[in-house]
Protein backbone atom coordinates (compact mmCIF):
# COMPACT_ATOMS: atom_id res chain seq x y z
CA UNK A 1 0.00 0.00 0.00
CA UNK A 2 2.87 2.38 0.70
CA UNK A 3 4.17 2.04 -2.85
CA UNK A 4 0.87 3.27 -4.22
CA UNK A 5 1.45 6.67 -2.63
CA UNK A 6 5.08 6.99 -3.63
CA UNK A 7 4.44 8.63 -7.07
CA UNK A 8 2.32 11.30 -5.40
CA UNK A 9 5.07 12.43 -3.02
CA UNK A 10 6.99 14.59 -5.56
CA UNK A 11 3.72 16.20 -6.63
CA UNK A 12 2.80 16.99 -3.03
CA UNK A 13 6.28 18.40 -2.36
CA UNK A 14 6.05 20.65 -5.44
CA UNK A 15 2.60 21.83 -4.39
CA UNK A 16 3.85 22.66 -0.88
CA UNK A 17 6.82 24.61 -2.26
CA UNK A 18 4.65 26.59 -4.67
CA UNK A 19 2.31 27.52 -1.82
CA UNK A 20 5.30 29.06 -0.02
CA UNK A 21 6.62 30.83 -3.11
CA UNK A 22 7.97 34.34 -2.94
CA UNK A 23 5.33 35.67 -5.33
CA UNK A 24 2.51 34.63 -3.02
CA UNK A 25 4.12 36.54 -0.12
CA UNK A 26 4.92 39.73 -2.08
CA UNK A 27 2.55 42.68 -1.85
CA UNK A 28 2.82 46.19 -3.33
CA UNK A 29 3.88 49.02 -1.04
CA UNK A 30 4.05 52.14 -3.23
CA UNK A 31 4.43 53.17 -6.87
CA UNK A 32 5.60 56.62 -7.96
CA UNK A 33 5.70 57.93 -11.55
CA UNK A 34 8.68 59.90 -12.82
CA UNK A 35 8.22 63.66 -13.35
CA UNK A 36 7.87 63.17 -17.11
CA UNK A 37 5.60 60.15 -16.70
CA UNK A 38 7.80 57.86 -18.82
CA UNK A 39 8.78 55.57 -15.92
CA UNK A 40 7.28 54.36 -12.68
CA UNK A 41 9.21 53.11 -9.68
CA UNK A 42 7.65 50.66 -7.27
CA UNK A 43 8.51 49.06 -3.97
CA UNK A 44 6.94 45.87 -2.72
CA UNK A 45 7.41 43.94 0.50
CA UNK A 46 7.96 40.20 0.74
CA UNK A 47 6.69 38.77 4.01
CA UNK A 48 8.75 36.04 5.69
CA UNK A 49 7.91 32.35 5.66
CA UNK A 50 7.86 32.31 9.45
CA UNK A 51 6.87 35.08 11.91
CA UNK A 52 10.32 36.23 13.02
CA UNK A 53 11.98 35.82 9.63
CA UNK A 54 13.41 38.64 7.54
CA UNK A 55 11.22 40.87 5.42
CA UNK A 56 12.52 41.88 2.00
CA UNK A 57 11.90 44.95 -0.12
CA UNK A 58 11.88 44.66 -3.90
CA UNK A 59 12.50 47.73 -6.05
CA UNK A 60 11.30 47.61 -9.66
CA UNK A 61 11.02 50.10 -12.49
CA UNK A 62 8.47 50.05 -15.31
CA UNK A 63 8.70 51.64 -18.74
CA UNK A 64 5.23 53.17 -19.11
CA UNK A 65 5.42 53.24 -22.92
CA UNK A 66 6.29 49.57 -23.45
CA UNK A 67 4.79 48.24 -20.22
CA UNK A 68 7.99 46.30 -19.45
CA UNK A 69 9.00 46.03 -15.79
CA UNK A 70 12.43 45.19 -14.44
CA UNK A 71 13.34 44.17 -10.91
CA UNK A 72 16.35 46.26 -9.88
CA UNK A 73 17.06 45.36 -6.27
CA UNK A 74 16.01 43.07 -3.45
CA UNK A 75 17.26 43.63 0.08
CA UNK A 76 16.24 42.75 3.61
CA UNK A 77 14.62 45.29 5.92
CA UNK A 78 14.41 44.67 9.66
CA UNK A 79 10.86 44.46 10.94
CA UNK A 80 9.87 45.39 14.50
CA UNK A 81 6.26 44.19 14.33
CA UNK A 82 4.79 47.53 13.25
CA UNK A 83 3.67 47.73 9.59
CA UNK A 84 6.05 49.57 7.27
CA UNK A 85 5.19 53.20 6.51
CA UNK A 86 6.56 55.80 4.11
CA UNK A 87 9.06 56.68 6.85
CA UNK A 88 10.53 53.17 6.51
CA UNK A 89 10.42 52.97 2.71
CA UNK A 90 10.77 56.33 0.99
CA UNK A 91 10.65 56.67 -2.80
CA UNK A 92 11.38 59.87 -4.70
CA UNK A 93 12.41 60.87 -8.19
CA UNK A 94 15.19 63.46 -8.38
CA UNK A 95 14.94 63.82 -12.16
CA UNK A 96 13.26 62.21 -15.15
CA UNK A 97 15.70 59.28 -15.07
CA UNK A 98 17.11 59.29 -11.52
CA UNK A 99 15.47 58.17 -8.29
CA UNK A 100 16.32 57.39 -4.68
CA UNK A 101 14.79 54.82 -2.38
CA UNK A 102 15.60 55.12 1.31
CA UNK A 103 15.10 52.09 3.55
CA UNK A 104 14.97 52.91 7.25
CA UNK A 105 14.54 50.16 9.81
CA UNK A 106 14.17 50.80 13.52
CA UNK A 107 17.55 50.56 15.29
CA UNK A 108 19.42 49.64 12.09
CA UNK A 109 21.55 51.67 9.70
CA UNK A 110 19.74 53.16 6.71
CA UNK A 111 20.16 51.70 3.23
CA UNK A 112 19.82 53.61 0.01
CA UNK A 113 19.02 52.39 -3.48
CA UNK A 114 20.09 54.77 -6.23
CA UNK A 115 18.37 54.26 -9.57
CA UNK A 116 19.69 55.62 -12.86
CA UNK A 117 18.07 55.05 -16.23
CA UNK A 118 20.64 55.59 -18.97
CA UNK A 119 19.85 55.12 -22.65
CA UNK A 120 16.57 53.45 -21.68
CA UNK A 121 18.32 50.87 -19.50
CA UNK A 122 17.58 51.05 -15.77
CA UNK A 123 20.18 50.15 -13.17
CA UNK A 124 20.43 50.32 -9.40
CA UNK A 125 23.11 50.55 -6.75
CA UNK A 126 22.59 49.63 -3.10
CA UNK A 127 24.63 51.71 -0.65
CA UNK A 128 24.74 52.32 3.09
CA UNK A 129 22.88 55.44 4.17
CA UNK A 130 20.24 57.40 2.34
| 1: in domain | no
> Residue 99 falls within a domain, yes or no?
yes
Count of Cβ atoms closer than 10 Å to residue 47 Cβ = 16
Domain assignment present for residue 51? The answer is yes
Q: Does a structural domain hold residue 58? A: yes
Number of structural domains the chain divides into: 1
> What does DSSP assign to residue 24?
H
pLDDT, residue 78, reads: 83
10 inside domain: no
Does residue 2 lie within any of the structural domains? Answer: no
Count CB neighbours of 12 within 10 A.
10
Beta strands 26-33 and 39-46 are: antiparallel
Where in the sequence is the domain holding 32, given as residue range(s)? 22-128
Residue 49 domain-assigned (yes or no): yes
Q: Write out the chain's pLDDT in tens, 130 residues.
A: 456 555 655 555 544 544 456 668 899 999 999 999 999 999 999 998 877 778 999 999 999 999 999 999 999 988 877 788 899 999 999 999 999 999 998 778 899 999 999 999 999 999 999 8
Q: Does some domain include residue 6?
A: no
Residue 6: predicted pLDDT: 59
Amino acid sequence: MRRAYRPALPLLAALALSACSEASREHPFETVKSPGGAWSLSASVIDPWFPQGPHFVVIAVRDEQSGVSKRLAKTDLAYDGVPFTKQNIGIRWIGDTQALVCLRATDRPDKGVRILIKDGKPGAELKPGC
